[in-house]
Structure 1
């Protein structure tokens, strides 16, 4: 029997390698790893998780980088790089779950920054971190607290973690003055002396 016609698979590496049943082709994983910048920005809310691994693959309209490669059904298709990395390390993504970025960086492929959740979990995370146009706006009190913490020397990452907001929301709040910020839904601005 000629074995040259059989497809070859790359072994799965990582802490859950024995659970992985989908084996991505060597060329796809190698191509993904070759185009990762492992010195991207520091994790937005948990700096101890390290740097984002930024994929330089082509981004689609929704901002997620994609790579061409084999799917579980054997067909070739464009796939989101963070999902490819998750499957390479952890195995298939269970039906009904999505791979979420804890760092809020769509181009990140660092396995320490990825976790599974439902789409409802993902939307809730987006809303609570202020990454949605429908998210609860900052109150004047929150804005003043963020600015006070920053002027006292706290890092943006620490403020974001304490406030439950994204890095970008905190950065924008630091640049704003209460007069130039959106109208407050929770009462008038605090009096300044």
Structure 2
């Protein structure tokens, strides 16, 4: 009977539609890089050069200008005043993260962060040293994990949560800067620290 055949066809179509919808619901969402190399690759780390180092009204902070390549500069307020002489910082190559949210420190805008390692000293105080790009590195060189490649693109602003997770995995091992045990490198070699910086020292 045509009416019954038509009803069966409609029922079959409805069942097929429901099965398709259920299958779609079971599909896994796109993975979120919340750990390991995928997480690290969200941080835009690169080699920069310190162009200026100025005193400001703080016993901890310098106001610096860094060259990040492509005829671009950033102002960075860095907490290095007690640990690194102005003359030693001026003109040096450093490792900077460029895609953190800009901040204001001591009334001054800070548009990036210079990475340094720190370790407590016996009797109080701390040892602080900036990361050293490998010899032959140039301003603008990306910093990535050994065995991988630089990210093709980065989030415009890396949120504080993921950055804190990245910092938790950064440490010094055998004189090299590492993330979860993997060395940080440029195309020229490993990012290092001075010999007096002990294994396990944190990097931020």
TM-score (norm 2): 0.21
Q: Determine which structure has the larger helix proportion and give its number.
A: 1
Q: Determine which structure has the larger strand proportion and give its number.
A: 2
TM-score (norm 1): 0.22
Task: Compare CA radii of gyration and give the structure with the larger one.
Answer: 2
